[in-house]
Structure 1
């Protein structure tokens, strides 16, 4: 078993590009992860990495071993997952990703109860508003807000999430309240942007159908929560999922802009690789989230 665990560490080091990152992903210290790699090299009789002060790079032998080792580890994971259906005992790591706002407000509060019901499952929740890669990041489930991507991954839509344009009363008093979608072009729009962002525009739901606007803003961020903070500080207008700003709308700290032509709803969905469908803990966690969030999801729709 230590040999198998060392192979798993090796695979994550290759995928994440450093011993520190690979070890952290496996919940190991850099020293322990480094020792696992050294033991593996000693056993195999080859050098798996070329190490420099700046970079860790696989040798030709290391890349060859990784290509075979990754298939072995995936097969072992699939075999353990299949046996869980017989034993009824879920076990192993469950890697879940989500955008920051969605993860913090809706998913994170659900994790402890699921973990209490399945003590042999380790849930690794990764929150980021950046675009993720299920295969490269070795994710089991990716929850997301947005249009379903064109991909070979399995998808399950959980709800339509309404959005709202929001700003502070002070900002609107100082800069004027937009009376039409086109008037947004004269305002500082707070934009969610990051490398390889799927879109840099807002689409509003009008009586004539969807209207796409290439809005402008003097600053942007790759964190949805930062946009909320900027809006609350009176720096501009933000386009937000309504559940993320409901509290601020209720208190009056933010007010809705152009409620008659709101942004188009966004989809709340999850993606997972086809091979993960046979893993009972993947199906069970998705079902658990969908059931636990039914009141909120019903309110969103």
Structure 2
């Protein structure tokens, strides 16, 4: 189906803003992706993109064609998903995303086990601590830690993950160990920040109930692993899921602070568009991730305790 494949390439190029990115997303070289776009333009006898050295954007005709082409590609994917349950052997590609820490330490190690079970399924894992748009980015499943976004997406909860505040011994020796939540105002707090990020305050669990603490510091990043690196270097206090820093705690590289008033637990779960669950391979992957993640988190919790 060369024409359908060309439509897929065209749609992803529009959504990702470049032929290179669109081709890479579909595992095509830039040359092949460019050829598909050219063949489409020749077939339609129109110019679909305005091209400059810095930017690629759809023409007015291209934008109109995109709106219809996206529906065609979506309808084909829905049709394939609808019949996938009748196949004894799931096949195709599943695209998932996860936060960096969760993805590296929890999701990436278990994905090969899923592929071993279903060798005709390919999994594309995208890691980012930024918020993503499943529909816009063409993703099937998004794992998250924190408050679930208010959306029309379906949610399956994996578990509540305990969080903690911790810092390197060198930092605590130099600046002192906070004794009360209010002491955090005098400490360098390392924040996960990105556009529209909510983490400019931390909510701690106290005997009087949740206590919101406005915190600040000299460093922030949109990469959770960067924050961990800074904490290990003695630069400040971080607020992390316990499993994310379990190894550092075990080795004494990080030390928990304010254990009597820890941050409130964060939900660990996955989001997916409702129609995606019609697809057998997506449903199987979600079930697999939920079971394995719960087992791994229970194991980590036991080791830390």
**How would you bin the TM-score normalised by the shorter chain?**
over 0.9
1:5-60 superposed Cα distances (whole Å, 9 cap, x missing partner): 11100000000001011011011111111011001111111111111122111112
- Secondary structure of the residue that 2:136 maps to in structure 1? coil
* Structure 1 residue 293: Cα displacement: 2.2
TM-score of the superposition, structure 1-length normalised? 0.97
Matches within 5 A, 1:14-33: 14-33=14-33
- Secondary structure of the residue that 2:85 maps to in structure 1? helix
Query: Which residue is 1:140 aligned to?
Result: 140
Q: Unmatched 5+ residue regions in structure 2?
A: none
Q: Does 1:266 find its partner at 2:266?
A: yes
Give the 4+ runs in structure 1 shifted more than 3 A: 297-301
Contact 1:189 1:216 in 2 (8 A): yes
Q: Report the Cα distance in structure 1 between the residues aligned to 2:295 and 2:118, rounded to whole angstroms.
A: 24
Query: Which residue is 2:114 aligned to?
Result: 114
* Structure 1 residue 193: Cα displacement: 0.4
Q: Report the Cα distance in structure 2 between the residues aligned to 1:91 and 1:241, rounded to whole angstroms.
A: 34
1:217-253 superposed Cα distances (whole Å, 9 cap, x missing partner): 0111111111111111111111111001111111111
Query: Which residue is 1:292 aligned to?
Result: 292
Q: Report the Cα distance in structure 2 between the residues aligned to 1:198 and 1:135, rounded to whole angstroms.
A: 22
Q: Report the Cα distance in structure 1 between the residues aligned to 2:117 and 2:41, rounded to whole angstroms.
A: 39
Matches within 5 A, 1:1-301: 1-298=1-298
1:137-170 superposed Cα distances (whole Å, 9 cap, x missing partner): 1110000001121111000111000011001112
Q: Report the Cα distance in structure 2 between the residues aligned to 1:294 and 1:172, rounded to whole angstroms.
A: 33
Contact 1:158 1:297 in 2 (8 A): no
Q: Report the Cα distance in structure 2 between the residues aligned to 1:84 and 1:196, rounded to whole angstroms.
A: 38
1:189-224 superposed Cα distances (whole Å, 9 cap, x missing partner): 011101111331101000000001110101111111
* Structure 1 residue 298: Cα displacement: 3.5
Q: Report the Cα distance in structure 1 between the residues aligned to 2:169 and 2:53, rounded to whole angstroms.
A: 53
Contact 2:191 2:199 in 1 (8 A): no
More moved, 286-295 vs 219-228: 286-295
Q: Report the Cα distance in structure 2 between the residues aligned to 1:117 and 1:145, rounded to whole angstroms.
A: 27
Q: Report the Cα distance in structure 1 between the residues aligned to 2:168 and 2:258, rounded to whole angstroms.
A: 13
Q: Unmatched 5+ residue regions in structure 1?
A: none
Q: Report the Cα distance in structure 1 between the residues aligned to 2:6 and 2:175, rounded to whole angstroms.
A: 60
| Matched residue count | 301
Contact 2:159 2:294 in 1 (8 A): no
* Structure 1 residue 295: Cα displacement: 2.1
TM-score of the superposition, structure 2-length normalised? 0.96
- Secondary structure of the residue that 1:31 maps to in structure 2? helix
Contact 1:96 1:126 in 2 (8 A): yes
Give the CA RMSD over aligned residues: 1.3
Q: Report the Cα distance in structure 2 between the residues aligned to 1:289 and 1:44, rounded to whole angstroms.
A: 43
Q: Report the Cα distance in structure 2 between the residues aligned to 1:82 and 1:53, rounded to whole angstroms.
A: 42
Q: Report the Cα distance in structure 1 between the residues aligned to 2:198 and 2:236, rounded to whole angstroms.
A: 22
* Structure 1 residue 88: Cα displacement: 2.2
